[in-house]
C-alpha cells in the first residue's frame, strides 16, 4: 500500500514576531486542508509535530498546537532529531499509516527560533554536538562545518569560490520563492567579502535562524484519490545515524549517516542517483551542500566543488538542487525544514513550481541532516 | 500480526550522579539484550528514545545514546509527549514494526532530571502548561494538580486521608522494588504532617524528580519466539489529546485524554475495565491516581477516594494499581516512566514480579499521562 501526500501548506519563513508558535503552526495547517479536495479537519486521525522543543518559551508543542488547530482529542506527539525533526515526523506519519494505526495524518514542522538571541541559539545548538568531549570545549555548529570545509579544501582542492557558488545559486532561487526569508540575489563578491564566522565560512556561507512552519497531509493509496488528483508518493525512506562525536567519525569529508540513508532509499526504489530529477538537500552551510552532492552520489567524493562550479546543480544541470533557495535563502526554522523540503518536491512533481519548475520532474529527493550528521533522513518521492 | 516485548531492562531510579545520560541509557539496554535468548545488538534495526530534551546539558539524546550503546548506523530519533514521552516511543516502535519498516526495535526511555535544581525543573515544567494564558501567571504542576484535588474534594467529598492513602500504598509497594528511588514505607501521619506544597497537596503527595532509564525490545509475532518463551503482546494502544489549557477543559475532575485513550484501548481488545488484572497508572501526584481509577473505569467518577480507602487498588482488591510503587515511590524520570510502567506489567504477566506478584495476571494496562493531561497513552498487554 503506497503512502502519499494529498495536501501541502507553507508559511512565510523569517522574522515572525507577528505570530505565536501555535499561530505559526495553524497557518500552513489551514492551507494544507484547503489544498485538498474536501478533506475536512475531522477526517485527520493524528498530528505529528516535528520540532526542537528547547527554543521556545512554550514547551511540549503538540499540546498547544493540537488545541489551537482544533485537533483534540486526536492522537499527537512530537519527534525530534535536531535539524531533521521534520523528516522524523514524516517517517513517523508514514509508519502510522502503513501500519494501519491511522488513515490520515497531519505533519506540522514548526519552529520559532527568534524568541532567543543568535548567541543563545548558538550555545544551545552547540549542545547538539557531544557535550562531554566537544561542545564543553567551545565547539559550535559553524565551527564543526568549518572543520568539514577545511578538510575538503585540503584533501580535494575545493576552493572558497566553489563553496560560495552554493550561496550564489541558492540566493538566486530564493529570489523566486515568496516564502523565503531572503528574496534577493547575492553576488560572489559580496559573499567572499562578508565577515568571517569560522574560517573559511563567512556570514553568507551560513543559513539564518528563522521562524516558520510547514504542513503536509498524508494518507494511503485507497483514500488519496478522494482528496486530490495529484497525490505524490513516498517511494523510498532511508534513515540512518552516525557518531555524535565527530572525533570518532571515519573522516571529515562525508556525513556517514547521509551515505547510508541514501543507499537505503535508492535500493528501496531501485533507482540510481542520476535518476533523481530534483533534490532538496540540507545546506545549513554552503559546504554541507557540496558534501551532499557527493554523499547522495550526484558526483563522486571530492568532486562537489567542480559540480557546482559547472552549474550541474542548477536547473538545466545534471541534478538540480535546492531550487527553492534551500536553507540558505529560505532560512532554517529547524523543525519545519524537512517538511518545507518535502513541499518543494511536491510542487515540483505536481508541476506547480512556477518560475523555478524543473521541466517534467517525476522523481525527487529530500536529504535532511540532523545536528552535525548524527541523523540523516533521505526520502524519494514520485508523481 | 501481533507485536510484543521480548526483552526488558530497568536501571535504578533516583540520584544517579554516578552516570552520564548515555551511561544511564546503556545500563537497561544491556540488561534487555541479556534478558532475551540470543538476540544480538546487531539484530536491532532501530532505536526510539523517549525523553524530554530540555532537562539535560546534552541535547538531541538519540545521537549520543545511539553512539554510546553501539547502534550506529541504525535509524534513531526521539519522541516527546512531556511525561508520556516513553509511551510515545513505544507507540512509535509498535508502528515501525507493524508497518514492516523495522523488525526489531529498541525503546529506551531516559531522563537525567537532577542536573537541574528542583526550582529550575519546576519552572521548565510549568512551561508544559499553556504559556500564553497560564504559566506566565505562575501556574506550576503541583498547582495544577492541586486544582484537580480541590475540585474533587469539593464535588465528591473526597478526603485528604483518602488522597494520602495512595502514597501509603505506593510507598509500601515501593519498599518491595529494588529499582525504586524510595524503598521504605511511609505512614499516614507522616504524609499528612509533611510540608504543604500546594493545598491540599503535601510533600508526600508529590512524586520526586529522579534520574533513570528503562529499555524494552519489541518485535513481531514471527520473530518473537526466537528470542523468548514468554513474549508479552501489545493488544490495545489508545492515544488521545486534550486542551493544553485547563481553562478550556470541560471540568477539573477528569483527564479527558485519559478517558478517550482508555475507551480506544478497551474497544480494540474487547475487554472492560474489570477485566484488567494489574495496572500501572500515572500517579505524578496522589490525586492523579484517584482520577485514573475513575478515568479508566475501575470505579465510577467521584468514587476514587472510596476505592483506595477500601483498598481495591491493593493486591487482592478489584484492580491492583502501581504495585511497583508507581511514580510516587519509584521517582519520575519523565522519559523513562512509560517504559518503566510497561516493564512492571511485563514482569507481572510473566509471573516474575516476586513479592509484588498479582497471582495469575494475564492482562495488564499502562496509563501514561503527559503534562497536565494534554496527552494520554493507554496500552493493554497480554501474556
Q: Where are the beta strands (DSSP E) in chain B?
A: 3-10, 46-50, 75-80, 104-112, 196-198, 201-202, 211-220, 232-241, 278-280, 363-370, 375-382
- CB–CB contact A77 B81 (8 Å): yes
The shortest CB-CB distance from B59 to any of A46, A63, A124 is to: A124
A102 carries an active-site annotation: no
Q: B264 and B146 in one domain? A: yes
Q: A237 and A359 in one domain? A: yes
Per the listing, cell 525503546 goes with B107
Q: What is the pLDDT of residue B122?
A: 86
Residue A285, pLDDT above cutoff 90: yes
- CB–CB contact A127 B57 (8 Å): yes
**Closest-approach residue (CA) in chain A for B71:** A241
Is residue B326 a part of any domain in this protein?
yes
- CB–CB contact A95 B91 (8 Å): no
A231, A264, A283 — which closes off a domain? A231
The structure's pTM equals 0.98
Q: What is the pLDDT of residue B119?
A: 87
Q: A255 and A221 in one domain? A: no
Average pLDDT of chain A, as a whole number: 97
Beta carbons within 8 Å of A141's beta carbon, 6+ residues apart: A122, A125, A126, A128, A129, A284, A285, A372
User: What number is the average pLDDT over the span A356-374?
Assistant: 97
Q: What is the pLDDT of residue A122?
A: 86
Q: B219 and B183 in one domain? A: no
Q: A153 and A43 in one domain? A: no
Is residue A92 a part of any domain in this protein?
yes
Per-residue pLDDT tens for A226-267?
A: 999 999 999 999 999 999 999 999 999 999 999 999 999 999
User: How many domains does the structure of chain B reveal?
Assistant: 2
Ramachandran category for residue A167: left, alpha or beta (phi over 0 → left; psi -120 to 50 → alpha) = alpha
Answer for the pair A286, A328: CB distance below 8 angstroms, yes or no: yes
Per-residue pLDDT tens for A115-152?
A: 888 888 888 888 999 999 998 888 999 999 999 999 99
Q: What is the pLDDT of residue A381?
A: 98
Per-residue pLDDT tens for A68-127?
A: 999 999 999 999 999 999 999 999 999 999 999 999 999 999 999 988 888 888 888 889
Residues of A in contact with B63 (CB under 8 A): 82, 128, 241, 244, 370-371, 374-375
Per the listing, cell 567572499 goes with A192
Best probe of the B interface among A63, A88, A116, by most B CBs < 10 A, is A63
Q: A220 and A290 in one domain? A: no
Q: A364 and A221 in one domain? A: no
Q: What is the pLDDT of residue B123?
A: 86
Is residue B123 a part of any domain in this protein?
no
Q: B253 and B107 in one domain? A: no
A231, A264, A281 — which closes off a domain? A231
Is residue B124 a part of any domain in this protein?
no
Residues of B in contact with A69 (CB under 8 A): none
The one-digit pLDDT tens for each residue of chain B (383 residues) are: 999 999 999 999 999 999 999 999 999 999 999 999 999 999 999 999 999 998 898 999 999 999 999 999 999 999 999 999 999 999 999 999 999 999 999 999 999 998 888 888 888 888 999 999 998 888 999 999 999 999 999 999 999 999 999 999 999 999 999 999 999 999 999 999 999 999 999 999 999 999 999 999 999 999 999 999 999 999 999 999 999 999 899 999 999 999 999 999 999 999 999 999 999 999 999 999 999 999 999 999 999 999 999 999 999 999 999 999 999 999 999 999 999 999 999 999 999 999 999 999 999 999 999 999 999 999 999 99
Q: B201 and B323 in one domain? A: yes
Q: What is the pLDDT of residue A249?
A: 95
Residue A109, classified by CB atoms within 10 Å of its CB into exposed (0-12), middle (13-18) or buried (19+), is: buried
* CATH code, domain with B73: 3.40.47.10
User: What number is the average pLDDT over the span A158-186?
Assistant: 98
Residue A368's domain comprises: 138-208+233-382
Amino acid at each position: 500500500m503506497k503512502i502519499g501526500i494529498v495536501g501541502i501548506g507553507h508559511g512565510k519563513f523569517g522574522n515572525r514576531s507577528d505570530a505565536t508558535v501555535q499561530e505559526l503552526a495553524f497557518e500552513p495547517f489551514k492551507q494544507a486542508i484547503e489544498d485538498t479536495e474536501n478533506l475536512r479537519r475531522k477526517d485527520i486521525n493524528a498530528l505529528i509535530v516535528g520540532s526542537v522543543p528547547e527554543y521556545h518559551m512554550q514547551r511540549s508543542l503538540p499540546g498547544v498546537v493540537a488545541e489551537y488547530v482544533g485537533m483534540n482529542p486526536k492522537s499527537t506527539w512530537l519527534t525530534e532529531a535536531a535539524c531533521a525533526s521534520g523528516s522524523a515526523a514524516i517517517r513517523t506519519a508514514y509508519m502510522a499509516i502503513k501500519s494501519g494505526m491511522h488513515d490520515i495524518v497531519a505533519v506540522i514542522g514548526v519552529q520559532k527560533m527568534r524568541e532567543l538571541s543568535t548567541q543563545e541559539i548558538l550555545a544551545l545548538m552547540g549542545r547538539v554536538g557531544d557535550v562531554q568531549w566537544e561542545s564543553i570545549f567551545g565547539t559550535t555548529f559553524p565551527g564543526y562545518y568549518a572543520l568539514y570545509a577545511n578538510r575538503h579544501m585540503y584533501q580535494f582542492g575545493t576552493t572558497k569560490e566553489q563553496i560560495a557558488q552554493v550561496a550564489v545559486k541558492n540566493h538566486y532561487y530564493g529570489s523566486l520563492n515568496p516564502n523565503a526569508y531572503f528574496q534577493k540575489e547575492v553576488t560572489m563578491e559580496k559573499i567572499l567579502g562578508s565577515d568571517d564566522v569560522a574560517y573559511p565560512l563567512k556570514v553568507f556561507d551560513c543559513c539564518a535562524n528563522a521562524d516558520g512552519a510547514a504542513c503536509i497531509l498524508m494518507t494511503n493509496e485507497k483514500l488519496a484519490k478522494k482528496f486530490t488528483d495529484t497525490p505524490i508518493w513516498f517511494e523510498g525512506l532511508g534513515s540512518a545515524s552516525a557518531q555524535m562525536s565527530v572525533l570518532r567519525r571515519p573522516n571529515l569529508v562525508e556525513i556517514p549517516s547521509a551515505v547510508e540513508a541514501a543507499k537505503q532509499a535508492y535500493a528501496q526504489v531501485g533507482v540510481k542517483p542520476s535518476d533523481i530529477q530534483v533534490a532538496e538537500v540540507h545546506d545549513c552551510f554552503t559546504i554541507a551542500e557540496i558534501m551532499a552532492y557527493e554523499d547522495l552520489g550526484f558526483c563522486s567524493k571530492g568532486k562537489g566543488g567542480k559540480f557546482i562550479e559547472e552549474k550541474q546543480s542548477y536547473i538545466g544541470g545534471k541534478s538540480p538542487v535546492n531550487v527553492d533557495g534551500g536553507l540558505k535563502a529560505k532560512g532554517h526554522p529547524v523543525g519545519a525544514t524537512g517538511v518545507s523540503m518535502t513541499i518543494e518536491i511536491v510542487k515540483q512533481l505536481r508541476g506547480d513550481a512556477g518560475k523555478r519548475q524543473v521541466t517534467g520532474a517525476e522523481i525527487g529527493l529530500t536529504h535532511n541532516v540532523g545536528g552535525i550528521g548524527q541523523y540523516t533522513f533521505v526520502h524519494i518521492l514520485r508523481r
